[in-house]
Amino acid sequence: ILGGKSARRGSFPWQALTGIHGRGGGALLGDRWILTAAHTIFPKGALENNVSLDQLAEEANVFLGHTKVEELHRMGNHPVRRIFIHPDYNPKDEHSFNGDIALLELKYPVSLGPTVLPICLPDTTNTTFYADGRMGYVSGFGVEKNFISNDLKYVRLPAVAREKCQSWLDSKKRDIPVVFSENMFCAGFLTVKQDTCQGDSGSVFTVLDTASGRWVATGIVSWGIGCAEGYGFYTKILNYLDWIKGIVGED
Amino acid sequence: SSQVPRKLFGEIRSPSYPKPYPNNNISIWDIHVPEGYVVKLTFRYFDLEPSESCFYDYVKIKADKKNLGRYCGRLGSTTGNHPGRKNFVSKGNKMHLAFHSDFSNEDNGTVIPYKGFLAYYQAVDLDECDPNNAAEEDERPHCQHFCHNYVGGYFCSCQAGYQLQGDHHSCKAQCSSELFTEASGYLSSPAYPQPYPEDLRCNYSIRLQKGLSVSLKFLEPFEIDDHQQVHCPYDQLKIQARGREIGEFCGKESPGSIETNSNEVDILFLTDESGFSRGWKIRYTSEKIRCPQPVPRDQFTIIRDLQPLYQFQDYFVVSCKTGYNLMEGNQKLLSFTAVCQADGTWHRSMPRCEIVNCGNPTDLTNGAFRYVNQSANNNYQSEITYRCNEPYYHIVTGTGGDRFTCSAEGTWVDQDGQVRIPACLPVCGKPVNPITELER
């Protein structure tokens, strides 16, 4: 997290620290599911993507319940029973992060408390969460000023209108085009140095639903061109509710 | 003198008959018929010299050591003693006939030819049973109880309950193995209400089918030899039921009614060598043996259709009030029936009813329950409510709510009778320290 602040314990109780292919983040759903980005499990262009999901589940590390990495490690790993990767995600396609969403089922349900609580999912009818300028918060254990963070940080970012995202993307004139699909949204600033970065992938973009008073996950940290050099791109959770509910159930 | 052979009939003639009999003749005939008969003699023809008191010629008849007469003369003679058609009957089976003729039969110098006599005898059956036919006055009756005459003899028999003894005359009470198998009846001492015989060893056995109980009722009069100081030293009436002595009785006071509670009863009556008591008589009846009235062990026990009386083969069914289990020892029963046995006991003891216990309520993951009622136990009708560990979980119940009651079936159920407990689901999006921006 660039340009952010240190999170207090209990402010982002859904935040998970993952260690599958390097550091990543995730969010607790219910009491036994971790929502994260698919590419934290199957990185784009990685050679060892032939490993089975069962194997990866066996080896995955998931930590919950603290804002300090060291404390998280001390508190112990939450074993993973199964991994579900969205079928649209293609690790071999380095141009597209479409379908960059995954679910980890923990072997044992976690006991909820002040420092471990789930995030809500958005209502299927509510699209205002993605309106231009809608403020949200992202937390993560990712890189901050070129150093990977040992504490949970958070930053407040506005969602950005699709046209702006596309327009900015088009202006970057990259040699390798990157797809901005409808299953994504972008957020952040063009000039303010506040953004998410490597190591934050899988963490969730959350907004406060003032009607219900609940924090809702609207996006998953997915990709960007550098860090704090423009907008960041997030998987649009609203488009994947059916897939999520199909796996975790209606609870 | 001649012994007349034992024939059933015969003829006796004076010497030379029908020619005149000789003078100075004594002829004797001893008529002997078989035992069981008497002799009946009749003169068909009688013509002897008549004389005063038959001094000269005569026929003398004797039987049973008695003279039956001295006869002489001829029909129409003014002196003498003509037998005519008289039947001479002995009491025994012998008759003695003696003929005597003197030295002449002259009457005023004229010899009168007297022809003598012709007599017939026959054996006539003696009715030994007729006391008038006793040979001697002090002769005892031929039979002690019943006499039955037949031609040439007789035999004796006895009253019911008596046995003819070896002398074929006397009767002794037969009561050593009397068996009674009817549902009711009478039994008494021999000859009741006449004095009972001496030296009795009577044994009356009542044997009925299992499950019946014999009741004895003594009738009046009741009289058994006794002693004022010593209990029943002479004669005793003992009553036993199934080998167990119920009592020993004597005296003049009736024992009244006795309930034996047994289907096997023995009555022993022992008498000594003397006494003049009238004895006893019992009417016995039987009914199905009774079992004790069933009584519930507690206030939760229900005896279905309780009857005022329970007898052999009757049964009763027990259940419990709602919320209570039938228990026999440590075993829970689905039902209970007890049958009255042949010995008057129930084949099972009364069970008890224990309050249903639902056991500990199911623990609620991420929640807890608490008892609503003060007693805080798991018994029937106890109540609990579930709640979740708020604010991190919220409770999701069925339509029956979060209150559960211990049911009569032994399960915790909600208001709709469902056993499924609520669930505690995570509360999302409610951090305890939400981000609040101060700087603007």
Residue A230 — pLDDT band, cuts 50, 70, 90?
very high
Kindly state whether B392 is in contact with chain A, defined as any CB-CB distance less than 8 angstroms.
yes
Q: Calculate the alpha carbon distances from A166 to A87, A100, A161, A181, A219 in Å.
A: 25, 18, 9, 10, 17
Q: What is the pLDDT of residues A138-151, one digit of tens each?
A: 999 999 988 889 99
Kindly state whether B433 is in contact with chain A, defined as any CB-CB distance less than 8 angstroms.
yes
Please state, as a whole number, how many other Cβ atoms lie within 10 Å of the Cβ of residue B76.
Answer: 7
Task: Give me the residue from A119, A137, A212 closest to B435, CB to CB.
Answer: A137
Q: What is the pLDDT of residues A146-165, one digit of tens each?
A: 888 999 999 999 999 999 99
Range A206-211 average pLDDT:
94
In the prediction, which pLDDT does B106 show? 82
Range B341-360 average pLDDT:
95
Cα distance between residue B350 and residue B338, in whole Å? 8
Residue A104 has pLDDT above 80, yes or no: yes
Q: Measured between CA atoms, how close is B362 to chain A, in angstroms? A: 18
Task: Give me the residue from A9, A112, A215 closest to B392, CB to CB.
Answer: A112
In the prediction, which pLDDT does B139 show? 67
Residue type at B179? L
Residue type at B278? R
In the prediction, which pLDDT does B9 show? 94
Q: Is A39 a catalytic residue?
A: yes
Range A99-104 average pLDDT:
97
List all residues of chain B from 333 to 372 with a beta carbon under 8 Å from chain A: 365-366
Q: Measured between CA atoms, how close is A47 to chain B, in angstroms? A: 38
Kindly state whether B306 is in contact with chain A, defined as any CB-CB distance less than 8 angstroms.
no
Q: What is the pLDDT of residues B220-262, one digit of tens each?
A: 999 999 988 999 999 999 999 988 999 999 999 999 999 998 9
Please state, as a whole number, how many other Cβ atoms lie within 10 Å of the Cβ of residue B396.
Answer: 12
User: Is the CB of residue A204 less than 8 Å from the CB of residue A29?
Assistant: no
Cβ contact B392–A117 (<8 Å): yes
Range B369-376 average pLDDT:
91
Residue B387 — pLDDT band, cuts 50, 70, 90?
very high
Residue A98 — pLDDT band, cuts 50, 70, 90?
very high
Residue B132 — pLDDT band, cuts 50, 70, 90?
confident
In the prediction, which pLDDT does A49 show? 62
Residue B405 — pLDDT band, cuts 50, 70, 90?
very high
Please give the structure tokens belonging to residue B29.
């005939």
Please give the structure tokens belonging to residue A81.
């029973």
- B-chain CB neighbours of A12 within 8 Å are 431
User: Is the CB of residue B57 less than 8 Å from the CB of residue B123?
Assistant: no
Residue B82 — pLDDT band, cuts 50, 70, 90?
very high
Residue A231 — pLDDT band, cuts 50, 70, 90?
very high
Residue B182 has pLDDT above 70, yes or no: yes
pLDDT, chain B, mean? 92
A166-172 contact pairs (CB < 8 A, 24+): A168/A230, A168/A231, A169/A231, A172/A225, A172/A230
Residue A251 — pLDDT band, cuts 50, 70, 90?
very low
Cα distance between residue A164 and residue A240, in whole Å? 23
Q: What is the CA radius of gyration of chain A?
A: 17
* Burial of A141 from C-beta contacts in 10 A (0-12 / 13-18 / 19+): buried
Comparing B312 with B199, which gets the higher pLDDT?
B312
In the prediction, which pLDDT does A140 show? 97
Residue B6 — pLDDT band, cuts 50, 70, 90?
confident
Closest chain A residue by Cα to residue B430: A214
Catalytic residue among A39, A66, A78, A86: A39
Q: Measured between CA atoms, how close is A31 to chain B, in angstroms? A: 6
Q: Is A195 a catalytic residue?
A: no
Range B196-225 average pLDDT:
93
Mention every residue, 6+ apart, whose C-beta is less than 8 A from residue B73: B46, B48, B49, B50, B51, B54, B79, B80, B81, B82
Residue A181 — pLDDT band, cuts 50, 70, 90?
very high
In the prediction, which pLDDT does B175 show? 87
- B-chain CB neighbours of A15 within 8 Å are none
Cα distance between residue B73 and residue B59, in whole Å? 10
In the prediction, which pLDDT does B242 show? 84
Q: Measured between CA atoms, how close is A251 to chain B, in angstroms? A: 8
Q: Measured between CA atoms, how close is B390 to chain A, in angstroms? A: 9
Residue A196 has pLDDT above 70, yes or no: yes
Cα distance between residue A101 and residue A84, in whole Å? 9
Residue type at B200? L
Residue B273 — pLDDT band, cuts 50, 70, 90?
confident
Cβ contact B389–A212 (<8 Å): no
In the prediction, which pLDDT does B5 show? 65
Kindly state whether B432 is in contact with chain A, defined as any CB-CB distance less than 8 angstroms.
yes
- In chain B, % of residues over pLDDT 70: 97
**DSSP codes of every residue in B29-48:** EEEEPPTTEEEEEEEEEEE-
Range B101-126 average pLDDT:
90
Catalytic residue among A96, A149, A201, A203: A201
To test the contact with chain A by mutation, choose from B388, B428, B430 the residue with the greatest count of A C-beta atoms within 10 A, namely B428
- A-chain CB neighbours of B366 within 8 Å are 31, 111-112
Q: Is A88 a catalytic residue?
A: no
A vs B, Cβ pairs < 8 A, gives 67
Q: What is the pLDDT of residues A30-80, one digit of tens each?
A: 999 999 999 999 998 776 667 888 889 988 999 999 999 999 999 999 999
Q: What is the pLDDT of residues B46-74, one digit of tens each?
A: 999 999 999 999 999 999 999 999 999 99
Kindly state whether B438 is in contact with chain A, defined as any CB-CB distance less than 8 angstroms.
no
Range B306-314 average pLDDT:
94
